[in-house]
Amino acid sequence: MTANNPLLDFTDLPRFDLIQPEHVKPAITQLLADGRALVDRLTADSTPATWADFAGALSDGLEGFGRAWGVVGHLHSVNDVPAWREAYNEMLPEVSRFYTELGQNLKLFDKYRALKQSPEYATLSAERRKIVDNEIRDFRLGGAELPEDQKPRFQAIMEELSQLSAKFSENILDATNAFAEIVTDETLLAGLPDYAKDAAREAAEKAGVEGWKFTLHAPSYGPLMQYADNRELRARMYRAYATRAAEIDNGYSKPEWDNGPIMKRLLELKAEDAAMLGFNNFAEVSLYTKMADTPAQVLDFLRDMAKKAKPFAEKDIAELKAFAKDELGLTDFQPWDAAYASEKLMQARYAFSEQEVKQYFTEPKVIAGLFTVIESLFTVKVKEDKAPVWHEDVRFYRIETPAGDLVGQFYMDLYARETKRGGAWMDEARSRKRAADGIQKPIAYLNCNFARPVGGKPATFTHDEVITLFHETGHGLHHLLARGEELGVSGIHGVEWDAVELPSQFMENYCWEWDVLQGMTAHVDSGEPLPRALYDKMLAAKNFQSGMMTVRQLEFSIFDMRLHYELTGKNSDPAGNKTVMDLLDEVRREVAVLIPPEWHRFPNSFSHIFGGGYAAGYYSYKWAEVLSADCYAAFEEAGDPFDPVVGRRFLEEILSRGGERPALENFKAFRGREPSPDALLRHSGMIAA
């Protein structure tokens, strides 16, 4: 099958019109064999330790494997049907084994060290020197310096970690999909906006049941918790959501979806991983490739932020509980009342609702507005393009220079589906590099989980969803506007994890600019743009409960860092006295103002750290918020959010640099100084009067 296998076609765009699950095993098996043969050839004594003969040849030679496996992983995320899940999971251990082999290959390690010590190293470009330095660093993390008798165990740990992470995410998706709340009495849906009821009605019809079907997917769950007057309905939905993939018998979950044992095993393996590499705990392993230096430094940063934010959060929760009691009659305030009471309080205080605002953010105008921001900031053009896609909802675009030269391309997959993993994310299909025939242009995926159009009208987005779209586009621009010519530091490659969120969070600021919103809104019925009076109310409400939201993010960040600092250390035992929930309870007592019920199992669905790449790295969001707010402040100081001089400097010093130089150097080249949290605190309304 390999001769005509579309997964092996690297001539241009991925062949999503042809790729099937049965193509995965033969393609990946062949690419793994080719990769091993390449490594054998390049590590031979006869191969000189030069860039052209060794490092560049290795990067180019393994690119196809990375692209093919990237397509497989992407399809597993956006089309998680049994056949794709099986195809992905069958090859995942083989892929993990190959990467672990690379990381432990002493001959590769020796070649990189020889290149570093050679006279050629000083003559290499800054990009190439950085790649060599990163490779030498990563070999240590890959176990290359381990004694030979320990390497098989380290490889087994890496394979098991990747399998467990995939299983963790699959359990959440399966548990999420398993629950449905069917409502047949419309009076129970009082308070719900029409769009939420229409979507629930369509879901019921699709499922072949009477009434309205609600699920735990965000477009269904969120509006119900925010608007439904029926408290019992909210409580049932909240409990179902809070106990996903947990050991608790909630009437719909299965024991095999319980992520508790997976978390325990992941922590055990990470502790063993850290000890084998000579680190005190897994948090130190994680920070080895980040801007931050030590777990203590990160915890100090987070606790300092918490100290500044908690008084505002305590004020927020006191106001919310008082309003819920006095105006809504909720004398025994519960967590499932929080979103509902917050929406009512916001309406009372600012005389508008998220539902009212949502009617103005129609999909065509939002997309056009987003593209206008990109074009204005970075002097490019965004145009619709054609490509094979994995679902009829997916659209494809190209970015060009003013002269019409191609810069990059991207897919946009906006709507939620039962077979698509939750959340929003950017991923790469291809990275920029200099090839034999010129510059290879980058390609990105932008994925969201918004509600699709219903009733023949265009889809409408909440303002939060618009912010999410701008956020993911920021990641995409980091990848697409790269100017580097080497894969290892092109776009997001080689960028410290805790700096990767800077461009994405930077872009969120434009969702609050009046001139931008005027051009990206049109009421779904009248076509009128967002009224200034409504915008002023949104702006007044921008920092509504920002204290509560900040301490919630800090809760997750401190929990993550302490978890990997304290429960994966040399002297710790994840199976010992302190459990994951015990630790979370400690963190909540320190920073939280809204404490969930004891049966809430948040860690069981914390996919960022157990199913994604954020283990001991969730703090990156807040760390990068400081950087991004400070960068945006440069535009504020210039008096124009589209100031061409500042925009060009941001593009040249940060966005297009990729991982060529340390992120702190990028920042200082742009701002002329070290980062300061002042802009973030000011933007969040948390500067004490």
Residues 142-194 have pLDDT tens digits of 888 899 999 999 999 999 999 999 999 999 999 999 999 999 999 999 999 99
Q: What is the mean pLDDT of the chain?
A: 94
Of these residues, 472, 485, 555, 653, which one is catalytic? 472
Q: Is the pLDDT of residue 653 over 50?
A: yes
Whether pLDDT at 657 is above 60:
yes
Specify the DSSP element, H or E, that contains 409: strand 406-415
- Find residue 426's DSSP bridge partners: 446
Q: What is the pLDDT of residue 573?
A: 52
611-640 as b/e, with b when 16 or more CB fall inside 10 Å? bbebbbbbbbbbbbbbbbbbbbbbbbeeee
**Which DSSP helix (H) or strand (E) runs through 445?**
strand 443-450
Report the sign of the C-alpha dihedral through residues 621, 626, 629, 632, in that order: negative
Q: In this model, does residue 90 exceed pLDDT 70?
A: yes
* 584 touches 603 (CB < 8 A): yes
Does this model's pTM top 0.85? My answer is no
Mean pLDDT along residues 401-407: 97
Q: What is the dihedral of CA 222, 228, 233, 235, to 10 degrees?
A: 60
For residues 346 and 355, give the distance between their C-alpha atoms in angstroms, rounded to a whole number. Answer: 12
Share of the chain above pLDDT 70, in %: 98
Write down the pLDDT at residue 498: 84
> For residue range 455-495, what is the model confidence (pLDDT) as tens digits?
889 999 999 999 999 999 999 999 999 999 999 999 999 99
Q: How many CA atoms are closer than 13 Å to the CA of 664, on its beta-carbon side? A: 8
Which percentage of the chain shows pLDDT scores above 90? 88
In this prediction, residue 689 carries a pLDDT of 37
Q: Is the dihedral of CA 455, 425, 593, 353 positive or negative?
A: negative
Which tens digits make up the pLDDT trace of 379-388? 999 999 999 9
Is residue 472 annotated as part of the catalytic site, yes or no? yes
114: which 2 tokens?
């020889």
pLDDT at 500 over 70: yes
How do residues 232-280 score in pLDDT, each as one tens digit?
999 999 999 999 999 998 888 899 999 999 999 999 999 999 999 999 9
CA pseudo-torsion sign 305, 306, 307, 308 = positive
Q: What are phi and psi of 182, to 5 degrees?
A: -100, 120
Sort strands 406-415 and 443-450 into parallel, antiparallel or unpaired: parallel
433-435 vs 438-440, strand pairing mode: antiparallel
End-to-end CA distance of the chain: 69
Instruction: Using the predicted structure, report yes or no on whether residue 1 has a pLDDT greater than 80.
Output: no
Q: What is the pLDDT of residue 686?
A: 85
Read off the pLDDT of each residue in 2-11 and give the average, rounded to a whole number: 90
CA atoms of 346 and 511, how far apart (whole Å)? 19
Confidence of residue 688 (pLDDT cuts 50, 70, 90): low
153, 155, 563 from 568: Cα distances, Å: 17, 18, 7
Least confident of 137-146, 192-201, 334-343, 590-599: 137-146
Residue 354, pLDDT score = 85
> From CA 216, how far away is CA 224, in angstroms rounded?
10
Summarize the confidence of residues 309-332 as an average pLDDT: 97
CA 244 vs CA 85, 258, 259, 280, 601: distances in Å:
20, 8, 9, 33, 8
Q: What is the mean pLDDT of residues 430-443?
A: 95
Report how far residue 532's alpha carbon sits from residue 117's, in angstroms, rounded to the nearest whole number.
Answer: 63
Q: What is the mean pLDDT of residues 628-650?
A: 96
Contacts of 363 (CB under 8 A, 6+ apart): 414, 453, 458, 459, 460, 461
**Tokens (6 digits) for 689:** 């009067």
Closest alpha carbon to 34 in 54, 60, 14, 13: 60
- Interhelix angle 260-276/151-178, nearest 10 degrees: 160
12-48: per-residue pLDDT in tens?
Answer: 999 999 999 999 999 999 999 999 999 999 999 999 9
CB 551 within 8 A of CB 686: no
